């Protein structure tokens, strides 16, 4: 049995910035240490810049992106509410599941996987929804869904956006676009390992915060009261200290680079990757005009697979021999396509060149 840690074995692309990994090595402060509380406040300030919002209630939920999703739904909808949700991939479907468990009536607005949701269809789906929810960057398909048009015409509804894969990688303007609640995850374009879910909530949404949400852990009331100056900061749960250091460092790297520069880097790398794949006979899955640079979904051409090999065999070779990890396809793409992340620290031209060169080695024809 292998005794060495595979992560230490090779130079394979790592999604976390080096500064982030260094942050994990810092001594662990107490979670109520004033220096740690000041660091959490700084994380909030940095998140406001990255979300492009002035929302006072902006912080990192302890838990992965799905915890952000649950916090965004369980605090604002329940029995008697109608939630219109766009579904064009796995994560829109997950939002429907969570909203239904909160007791809300869910109106699903579907679009074929690989295509964006038509904002007008979402707006027309119900006369008076409590909330309209959409995934900004669908990681299962590589499609970007529009938010600005929804925010401009949402009426009385709250607009909820899943920004797990968009934050830091493509343009996102929470305040300008009228997004009321947005959550993300640390492990995508922020270049930080998984473990926290950045969340921002508008003051308009705060006015609709449920008194007793069905979750104790994700109940936003205590932090909302503190943030709005209506209560003292008090113990709620023990924060994952090292993850907060890591997020603080990752946001620092992103802000030093500049948001627009980060978007440009993701766009250049994603564009080069997509061009390189098309030149090698791969067909892009996501509709042109709505393609994410940070997540590329492709059909793998059968005639380029080595004799007797499946697409999964090729992915295994790429991982074991070149240190490159590629995601398998989901839905129609399962067993026939790939999802290739090029985000955060991995969004570098050298990684694109490495992958394309490795494909030239491994594929036939
Ligand atoms: N939403 C989107 C768009 C995602 O891509 C993911 C995870 O990949 C999630 C939600 C769930 O996040 P997590 O796996 O961190 O819980």
Question: 162 CA to middle of ligand 1, Å?
Answer: 9
Classify domain 18-257 at the CATH class level.
alpha beta
Gap between the Cα atoms of 162 and 135, Å rounded: 5
* Residue 6 pLDDT greater than 50, yes or no: no
163 lines ligand 1 (CB under 6 A): no
The three-state (H, E, C) secondary structure of 168-187, written as one string: CCCCCCCCCCCCCEEECCCC
Q: Crossing angle of helices 241-257/34-51, nearest 10°?
A: 40
Gap between the Cα atoms of 52 and 29, Å rounded: 29
**Which residues in the chain are classed under CATH 3.40.640.10?**
18-257
What is the tens place of the pLDDT at every residue in 91-117?
999 999 999 999 999 999 999 999 999
What is the tens place of the pLDDT at every residue in 332-341?
999 999 999 9
Question: 66 CA to middle of ligand 1, Å?
Answer: 6
Could you give phi then psi for residue 105, rounded to 5 degrees? -85, 130
CA-nearest residue, atom 14 of ligand 1: 65
- Please tell me the predicted confidence (pLDDT) of residue 145: 98
93 lines ligand 1 (CB under 6 A): no
CA-nearest residue, atom 8 of ligand 1: 139
**Which residues in the chain are classed under CATH 3.90.1150.10?**
7-14+258-362
- Nearest CA among 241, 200, 247, 248 for reference residue 224: 200
Gap between the Cα atoms of 198 and 154, Å rounded: 23
Q: Is 335 left (phi over 0), alpha (psi -120 to 50) or beta?
A: left
Q: What mean pLDDT is predicted for residues 298-306?
A: 97
150 lines ligand 1 (CB under 6 A): no
Tokens of 265: 């880097």
pLDDT more than 70, % of the chain:
96
What pTM does this model have? 0.96
Question: 106 CA to middle of ligand 1, Å?
Answer: 20
Q: What mean pLDDT is predicted for residues 320-341?
A: 94
Fold classification of 7-14+258-362 is 3.90.1150
Tokens of 196: 């926290």
Q: N- to C-terminal Cα distance for the chain? A: 36
Question: 143 CA to middle of ligand 1, Å?
Answer: 14
Q: What mean pLDDT is predicted for residues 281-292?
A: 98
pLDDT more than 90, % of the chain:
94
Gap between the Cα atoms of 204 and 184, Å rounded: 20
Q: How confident is the model at residue 12 (pLDDT cuts 50, 70, 90)?
A: low
Q: What mean pLDDT is predicted for residues 287-296?
A: 98
What is the tens place of the pLDDT at every residue in 238-250?
999 999 999 999 9
């Amino acid at each position: 049995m292998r005794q060495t840690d595979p992560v230490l074995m090779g130079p394979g692309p790592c999604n976390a910035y080096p500064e982030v990994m260094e942050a994990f090595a810092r001594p662990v402060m107490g979670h109520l240490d004033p220096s740690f509380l000041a660091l959490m406040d700084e994380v909030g300030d940095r998140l406001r810049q990255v979300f492009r919002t002035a929302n006072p209630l902006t912080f990192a939920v302890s838990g992965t992106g799905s915890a952000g999703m649950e916090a965004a739904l369980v605090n604002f909808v329940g029995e008697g509410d109608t939630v219109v949700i766009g579904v064009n991939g796995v994560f829109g479907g997950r939002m429907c599941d969570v909203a239904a468990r909160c007791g809300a009536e869910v109106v699903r607005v579907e679009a074929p996987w690989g295509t964006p949701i038509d904002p007008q269809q979402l707006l027309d789906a119900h006369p008076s929804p409590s909330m309209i929810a959409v995934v900004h960057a669908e990681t299962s398909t590589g499609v970007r869904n529009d938010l600005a048009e929804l925010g401009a015409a949402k009426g009385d509804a709250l607009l909820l956006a899943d920004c797990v894969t968009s934050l830091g990688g493509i343009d996102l303007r929470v305040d300008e676009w009228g997004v009321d609640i947005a959550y993300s995850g640390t492990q995508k374009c922020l270049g930080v390992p998984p473990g926290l879910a950045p969340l921002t909530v508008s003051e308009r949404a705060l006015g609709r915060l449920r008194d007793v949400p069905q979750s104790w852990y994700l109940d936003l009331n205590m932090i909302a009261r503190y943030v709005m100056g209506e209560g003292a900061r008090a113990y709620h749960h023990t924060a994952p200290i090292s993850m907060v250091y890591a997020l603080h460092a990752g946001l620092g790297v992103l802000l030093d680079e500049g948001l627009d520069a980060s978007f440009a880097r993701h766009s250049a790398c994603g564009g080069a990757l997509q061009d390189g794949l098309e030149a090698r006979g791969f067909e892009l899955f996501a509709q042109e005009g709505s393609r994410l640079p940070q997540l590329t979904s492709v059909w793998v051409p059968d005639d380029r697979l080595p004799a007797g090999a499946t697409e999964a065999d090729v992915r295994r070779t790429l991982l074991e021999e070149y240190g490159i990890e590629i995601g398998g396809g989901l839905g129609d793409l399962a067993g026939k396509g790939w999802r290739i992340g090029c985000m955060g620290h991995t969004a570098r031209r050298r990684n694109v060149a490495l992958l394309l060169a490795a494909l030239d080695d491994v594929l036939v024809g």
